[in-house]
A and B are shown apart, each in its own frame.
Chain A
Amino acid sequence: MTNKEKLKKIINQNINKNNNYDAIVKLITKNKKIKYWQYAIIPTCLITVFIGFILLNNHKMYNHKIPQDNVNLIEGPILNINNMDMMTSSIDTNFANDKDIEKKENFYIPFPFTREVNIPEDLKKSKSYIAYYKDNKAISNYVIEYSNEYRNIIVAYQKSNPEYYDLTDIDVKSTIINNYEVEIFKFSSNYFVIFTYNDYDFKINTSNITEDELKEFLVSILI
């Protein structure tokens, strides 16, 4: 074999038609497998993740039942309720009935709770409005009402303000719910509740709501 033939042989071994063909067929097979993964497995995984995300969030949003371990969130077996019949009260419980206040419905108000709250079944119907001062249009309260013909829960709230209510002149018992301090007052068949949560000061007025229903409602807010 001449030098020329030797060099030609070496070059043809290095750049070889059959070797290149085999390599191409391998790449074709590899691409088919990748496409299988792309078109079958990946969409399936994405759909599974999406469904899981929906189910998880639905579970959180629509679960009105209080988990059993949340009972421990209330320190003590019962709410500490202050009997308002026995004291003079400077607390304004009729925050929307002042003659200087106007109400405006169908207006956007910020929802103050971080999740769906637990309200009695018969009070599903609700309305919301802004209560503001007639003279200067300053907002007095945002108000959400859960009500029927016979009873209601009225939630009034505004951006947290230390002067919103001052109870320093009253000897008040507090209830601790999930580390939030709550003052609860009772007069006749009404409850009046004050607390601060999520940067809002709340005043809640109820009529003909039982103590258990009030407890469930408060715990569902303050989780």
Chain B
Amino acid sequence: MTSQINLSKFNEVYDKTYNHLLKYVIVKCHNINDANDILQETYLELWNILHKKTLIDTNIKSYLYSIANNKIKKHYSLIQRLKTISIFDKNKDDIELIDAIADKININDIVINNDNWNMVWEYLKKQKNQDIPKIFYLYYTLELTIKEISKTLNVSESYTKHLIYRTLHELQKKYGNGGNSHD
């Protein structure tokens, strides 16, 4: 009986917090491939806590974020964390590049073969600069603006735009076939 109550409570919490926690984990993790594992470990820990004590709703969210933080820290050694630092300059020094980037970047403008979209995401996830898949996730899945993405990742807008534009260009070269991108 207790187990059922706990599961029902857990399900309720999971539904309410999943999207927020996922965004948090993706932004904070060092490699987007680890996001699923970290997320699962976080909710498993929450389950163990719900078993032992009663949490009020206002506590649960902050509990979740602190658990996620700990899981992320444990997941990566210091060396791993140092490795994922991008060599690309995130500062505003690249002012010339900003002028070259169009304000409106449209993925629909690039032409990619239908069969290749799985490989597109795999390609993005494997990038050494893990800001790339994060930005793509935030931009195309959560549909955040460039400004919102920049604020979330604590980077400049020009940096965000540049990564999107440059990556789309690479995707076009690698997977495009010159056909129409619309169905």
- The answer to whether the Cβ of A46 comes within 8 Å of any Cβ in the partner chain is no
- Cα–Cα, bound, A21→B14 (Å): 8
Give the chain A neighbours of B110 by CB distance below 8 A: 3
Interface size range of chain B in the complex: 20 to 34
Chain A interface: which size bin?
20 to 34
A10 within 8 A of B: yes
Stretch at the interface among A11-19, A167-175, A181-189, A214-222: A11-19
CB distance from A20 to the nearest CB of B (A): 6
Mostly helix, strand, loop or mixed at chain B's interface? helix
Interface of A is mostly: helix
Return B127 CB to nearest CB of chain A, in Å: 14
Residue A41 is within 8 A (CB to CB) of chain B in the complex: no
Q: Bound complex: CA of A4 vs CA of B39, how far in Å?
A: 25
The answer to whether A15 and B117 touch (CB under 8 A), given A4-B108, A24-B44, A31-B44, is no
Taking a contact as CB atoms closer than 8 A, the residue among B40, B125, B140 that contacts A24 in the complex is: B40
Cβ contact of A11, chosen from B18, B40, B137, cutoff 8 A: B137
Name which residue of chain B comes closest to A1, CB basis: B183
- In the bound complex, how far is the Cα of B121 from the Cα of A3, in angstroms? 12
Contact indicator A11/B140 (Cβ below 8 Å): yes
Chain A residues, CB < 8 A from B144: none
Task: Contacts A3-B108, A11-B140, A15-B35 given; indicate if A24 touches B43 (C-beta within 8 A).
Answer: yes
Number of A-B contacts (CB under 8 A): 63
Contact pick for B47, options A6, A12, A17, A28, CB 8 Å: A28
**What are the interface flags for B107-137 relative to A under an 8 Å C-beta threshold, 1 for contact and 0 otherwise?**
1101010100110110001000000000011
Q: Are B36 and A7 in contact (CB under 8 A)?
A: no
- In the assembled complex, the CB of B182 is this many whole angstroms from the nearest CB of chain A, namely 6
Tell me the A1-57 residues at the B interface (CB within 8 Å).
Answer: 1-4, 6-8, 10-12, 14-15, 17, 19-21, 23-24, 27-28, 31
Known: A11-B140, A20-B36; 18 extra A-B contacts, CB below 8 A, are A2-B182, A3-B112, A3-B182, A6-B117, A8-B141, A10-B120, A11-B121, A11-B136, A11-B137, A15-B22, A15-B26, A20-B43, A21-B14, A23-B40, A24-B43, A24-B44, A27-B40, A27-B44
11 pairs, A vs B, C-beta closer than 8 Å: A3-B117, A3-B182, A7-B121, A7-B136, A10-B118, A11-B121, A11-B137, A15-B36, A21-B14, A23-B40, A27-B44
A interface, CB within 8 angstroms of B:
1-4, 6-8, 10-12, 14-15, 17, 19-21, 23-24, 27-28, 31
